[in-house]
Chains A and B, each alone.
Chain A
């Protein structure tokens, strides 16, 4: 057992820290009034990262990454979070599309798509969820029908982050209505820039629009843009989903720590730290933030040593969302009406946190997954 970083890990971290120190301090992690300007900044920032080989440290060197270990990848996201910078603009391409294409793509597909992901020349979005296929992904209804050398797609997608900026979409569509639920799906790389694809932003409770609806009506996808074979979409989609949370946990963990530090500073300014009730709650939040960090590291070790996470691996997203909600709610209690002012930081954090227990798997579904896959309980009713 060794909970310190090795010399190479420390060297990696220090090099990264120096890079962040040298590069333009980020404007702010929260979307400003002008979401598009914020997005452009994130895109430029990713280009700078890519130029110096930092955009996708976990990618193999042959594709422009550094072949980083999982621990180094975790360090990258911790340091990114610490620097105050937001996630790179093409985060879905870097974390999801890239690794999925590396696993399932043909040589020409790898040749065509990977570099523009890295440099943020082409932004990617994820077309999985539908109005009737949220937690139940296999229920996808969007249809793709073969027409000559093309597939013609009709349907609707929802919760599509960054669709308004995206050139490409990881699209899961039904190509066989006769086959069993999981078996009739195919994974496509869909060009977003065409008549048949309409993007409508969804306004969320914070007022901003991170997510969109996609209306797909007769969009055309050439056959060469099938990824992993026709009818193999469920397996390919699982590759994408498995990549979803690996590094992000460390980014989110650091961000939550920063929010907690900010709250402690505000409490200190109001001379509230000696209040035993305040100390009790802050101590508990510190505990939960540390439990998350330590448990995430245990999960990392398990994957590095055994190739798969232990029972702890499925808990971190649940821990994070619950703690972040408790933290932002306590801020509202502690700071009073100042924390509820429209447009203020704490108001934003409070409202945004409501999405934490829904996005990327609701807490209820996560608990079902823990019960069935980790604890071996019978399928839930």
Chain B
């Protein structure tokens, strides 16, 4: 399988399904958020992402590093068009040779379909807002200082909260007493 082939085919499949299912806000931003959702959900569930893409901290949340390049490759191959809408949002539309789903396992396709259903009526804006709550992005972005920093797949293991739960502080006191840590 060629380098980035799975990213290419996933982009085409997601673009095709967003159009077929008439997704709300089916532009490039939503495409990037869906790719992130699919790859990180796959890492959580299967232990590895679907595509070969690496992700970085972008202003609008996690984004595949090679997304723009992949879109250009697909455009040059006549398999994708980016249509300019009235609001200047670019709509990716799959054209020509359809996505090759043979590069994916059945479980991967089921996971992608699940994400597509889940976000069908969710706007790109809302997906961006959700992405801004993802701890992997928050820590990589660091208020803009970490622009384009890599986001590790393992950040799915980070529990998304900023406040202690009551049991944690109680246990911290027990631990401090047992280990002779002064309070």
Whether chains A and B associate is: no
